[in-house]
Amino acid sequence: MPMALTVLLPLLTLLVSTTARPQPQAEATATYLATASGSILPSGAAPTNTAAPSGTGQPTRDGTVNQFQIVGNSGVSAQQMFLGTLNKVYILDKTEENLQLQVDGFPAWGSEYDLATDTVRGMFVLSNTFCAAGASLGNGSWVNFGGNQAVTWGGLTAASQTGGGPYDDWDGGQAVRLLDPCDDGTCEWVNLAPMTTRRWYPSVEPLEDGSVIVLGGDEWGGYVNDASQNNPTIEFFPSRGAPIGLNILLNSLPANLYPLTWLLPSGNLLIQTNWAAEIYDYKANVEYPLPNIPNAVRTYPGSGATAMLPLTPANNWTATVLFCGGTNLEPDQWVTNWTIAAYPADESCVSISPDISSTWTYDSTLPEGRTMGQFIMLPDSTLFLTNGGGTGTAGYGNDTWAIGHSYADNPVLTPLVYDPRLPAGNRWSRQGLGSSTVPRMYHSSALLLPDGSVFVAGSNPNPDYTVGAGVKYPTEYRTERFYPWYYSSRRPEPQGLPSNLSYGGEPFDVQLSAQDLQNNGIVNASVIVIRGGFSTHAMNMGQRFVQLNSTYTGNTDGSGTLHVSQLPPNPAILPPGPAMVFVTVGGVPSLGAFVMVGSGMGTQQVLPAGALKASSMPLPAPNTTGSGGGNVAVSAAMGGGVELGVGLLVVGLGLVALML
């Protein structure tokens, strides 16, 4: 667009707009109610599922398996996004010149993406969400924290930090924004009382009581952090008072923004930032250092791909966290006087199981180095790795060596699949996987959708909206889907999935027809709960995969019943809040159903795990029981779990054989 027009358009819209915008002062005084039914919109909303299909039916698209497809336009560039309902993805950009989608005559930087129609609704966001973070709460609300100062064209700091200017944006440094997702197009972001301190590039992790912890960040931004503006503290939402100092954030400069953080089943946090790592007992405020992470910086801007691997009955819901790629820069190398964009990214993968060992383990190496790769957990128990580049790091700037503004280059367009059930050294495959045509560089994102496809969006390594003939990595609005191998398979249509899951308590039964089970047999069926998390900066904060314990009863007509435990009696395995539940048969998932986990905000109700029936199959020997019919709840449950694990392993190996 010619410069004259880019200047004129906002001015014109400024003249005709103005009056209908919400009053931020009034909103900012709203106080979040930390009650069991804590949502402020509307007050007293119970943590139940309002528009919850049962997870039955078949996908409505004819996507080609193992291929990407460009499907729509996100309206704003998808720097951050999450799945709010089964049909809506909520997207946040930084404040910039998104002229294609406007709210009250100003460029939008938030949108609601309708998955059925691939259309967007612009959403009013008061303050600059540039490099903010988010998570879901125990009551189903989503919260977004922090950001940058108000900006004008080119991402330059605006004269006014309280609105006005071409984008009419407010300072977002201490912002707390809350959304109750909806399917009727009426929900909006609400601004709550601010955080105690400024946080640009913070991390957020859901906790056992439905609240969240907010960690780190800096005050004013930049490529990396520095001592003059570091915010080496944590705080909670809903607030528990003044921020609390955290030594690892003091001592891991400069690459310690977006500190990588996971709640472990022990109730402690694993924190990994720059080269440092620790276990943090946030309840007692005690830090236990771990050995440095080997080979590479996985934290932003190194931005390795990271994920907690599936928590399953076979591994007794023991957490292993995997880190792949990043960059091996030392603290004194995070300066911009050399050609960072051409520097090869790291290709190592390492993992740690912090609740049982403080040792780092080398895992299967990537086929090529990668920065800003992103792991999406699929319901077939594999991890899909997409996005990012082969050289450089996250970040951008006005440097002669930058690619446009990008600090990364050589996009990796072909995805990978990691199967944690395969032997170490042999877990990666890209056999048969098609490539994307859209580089997904800095400020890209990805999410698992209810139909089991992967939604990919964003990419904008630029200070403001930047497109044009010569721009190698433009502001990207195109959205894509990737359709995994199972996408066109006939999906199981389970009957009897609950809309709420408890911690412990009575098992439930899920019915599967002979057509659902096909040739696989109910021995190869399992129930998977996935929280997709909040996607930004090559991370999905809060992403979890939990397999429920189950046993089965097979019938002579080929149908069967799964007897399914609730979640294990421990909220730290999957904190309360919204998630999707899938029934998989031979790895082929049903459509995801919306499920609320737990009992809302506050201390969770935890019940003893109810006993599961012993597994039984009618053939070849009628009435043979699968796990010895033990009548002690734990032994019966674990027996079923082990069988299921072996079944999945066989399916996994069979799959690889097919791919080869």
User: Should residue 131 be labelled a site residue for Cu ion when binding is judged by CB under 5 A?
Assistant: yes
Three-state DSSP class for residue 137: coil
Distance, CA of 251 to chain centre: 27
CA distance 175 to 622: 63
Cβ closest to Cu ion, residue 436 vs residue 444: 444
Question: What's the CA dihedral at 193, 197, 198, 199 to 10 degrees?
Answer: -90
Cβ-contact 479, 455 below 8 angstroms: yes
Cβ closest to Cu ion, residue 445 vs residue 550: 445
State both tokens at 193. Answer: 């009382």
Stretch that binds Cu ion, among 49-57, 129-137, 274-282, 301-309 (CB under 5 A): 129-137
- Closest CB to Cu ion: residue number: 131
Cβ closest to Cu ion, residue 131 vs residue 512: 131
**DSSP secondary structure letters along 237-266:** ES--SS-EE-HHHHSS-SS-SS-EEEE-TT
Cβ closest to Cu ion, residue 221 vs residue 450: 221
Task: Give the Å distances, CA to CA, from 152 to 128, 158, 163, 176, 358.
Answer: 11, 5, 10, 22, 47
CB of 12 to Cu ion, least distance (A): 30
CB of 442 to Cu ion, least distance (A): 7
Cβ-contact 47, 139 below 8 angstroms: yes
Cβ closest to Cu ion, residue 257 vs residue 309: 257
CB of 475 to Cu ion, least distance (A): 13
CB of 300 to Cu ion, least distance (A): 8
User: Should residue 352 be labelled a site residue for Cu ion when binding is judged by CB under 5 A?
Assistant: no
User: Should residue 257 be labelled a site residue for Cu ion when binding is judged by CB under 5 A?
Assistant: no
CB of 396 to Cu ion, least distance (A): 9
CB of 394 to Cu ion, least distance (A): 7
Stretch that binds Cu ion, among 123-131, 182-190, 469-477, 479-487 (CB under 5 A): 123-131
Cβ closest to Cu ion, residue 131 vs residue 564: 131
User: Should residue 588 be labelled a site residue for Cu ion when binding is judged by CB under 5 A?
Assistant: no
Other CB atoms closer than 10 Å to residue 515's CB: what's the count? 11
CB of 46 to Cu ion, least distance (A): 36
User: Should residue 224 be labelled a site residue for Cu ion when binding is judged by CB under 5 A?
Assistant: no
CB of 131 to Cu ion, least distance (A): 4
User: Should residue 132 be labelled a site residue for Cu ion when binding is judged by CB under 5 A?
Assistant: no
For 468, counting Cβ atoms within 10 Å of its Cβ (0-12 exposed, 13-18 middle, 19+ buried), the class is exposed
CB of 70 to Cu ion, least distance (A): 24
Cβ closest to Cu ion, residue 91 vs residue 131: 131
CB of 258 to Cu ion, least distance (A): 8
Cβ-contact 14, 102 below 8 angstroms: no
Cβ closest to Cu ion, residue 131 vs residue 433: 131
Q: Show the binding pattern over residues 484-513: x = contacts Cu ion (CB under 5 A), - = does not.
A: ------------------------------
φ/ψ of 236, rounded to 5, equals -120, 160
Of 346, 392, 481, the residue nearest 59 (C-alpha):
481
Of 219, 217, 213, the residue nearest 232 (C-alpha):
217
Cβ closest to Cu ion, residue 202 vs residue 238: 202
Other CB atoms closer than 10 Å to residue 567's CB: what's the count? 26
Number of residues near Cu ion (by CB under 5 A): 1
Cβ closest to Cu ion, residue 447 vs residue 512: 447
Q: Interior CA angle at 35 toward 173 and 176, to 5°?
A: 10
CA distance 326 to 238: 33
User: Should residue 538 be labelled a site residue for Cu ion when binding is judged by CB under 5 A?
Assistant: no
Radius of gyration of the chain (CA): 24
Task: Give the Å distances, CA to CA, from 430 to 272, 416, 426.
Answer: 28, 5, 12
User: Should residue 523 be labelled a site residue for Cu ion when binding is judged by CB under 5 A?
Assistant: no
User: Should residue 573 be labelled a site residue for Cu ion when binding is judged by CB under 5 A?
Assistant: no
CB of 281 to Cu ion, least distance (A): 30
Q: Show the binding pattern over residues 304-343: x = contacts Cu ion (CB under 5 A), - = does not.
A: ----------------------------------------
CB of 354 to Cu ion, least distance (A): 27
φ/ψ of 515, rounded to 5, equals -65, -35
Cβ closest to Cu ion, residue 173 vs residue 639: 173
Cβ closest to Cu ion, residue 131 vs residue 574: 131
Stretch that binds Cu ion, among 3-11, 130-138, 242-250, 640-648 (CB under 5 A): 130-138
Q: Which helix (H) or strand (E) holds 338?
A: none
Stretch that binds Cu ion, among 127-135, 166-174, 319-327, 458-466 (CB under 5 A): 127-135
Cβ closest to Cu ion, residue 131 vs residue 637: 131
Stretch that binds Cu ion, among 26-34, 44-52, 124-132, 378-386 (CB under 5 A): 124-132
Residue numbers 638-657 binding Cu ion by CB under 5 A: none
CB of 130 to Cu ion, least distance (A): 7
User: Should residue 81 be labelled a site residue for Cu ion when binding is judged by CB under 5 A?
Assistant: no
CB of 94 to Cu ion, least distance (A): 7
User: What's the per-residue H, E or C state across 497-563?
Assistant: CCCEECEEECCEEEEECHHHHCCCCHHHEEEEEEECCEEECCEEECCEEEECCEEEEECCCCCEEEE
CA distance 70 to 105: 28
End-to-end Cα spacing for the chain: 48
Residue numbers 426-455 binding Cu ion by CB under 5 A: none
Stretch that binds Cu ion, among 131-139, 272-280, 401-409, 601-609 (CB under 5 A): 131-139
Cβ-contact 418, 621 below 8 angstroms: no
CA distance 17 to 33: 34
Which residues in this chain contact Cu ion in the complex, by CB under 5 A? 131
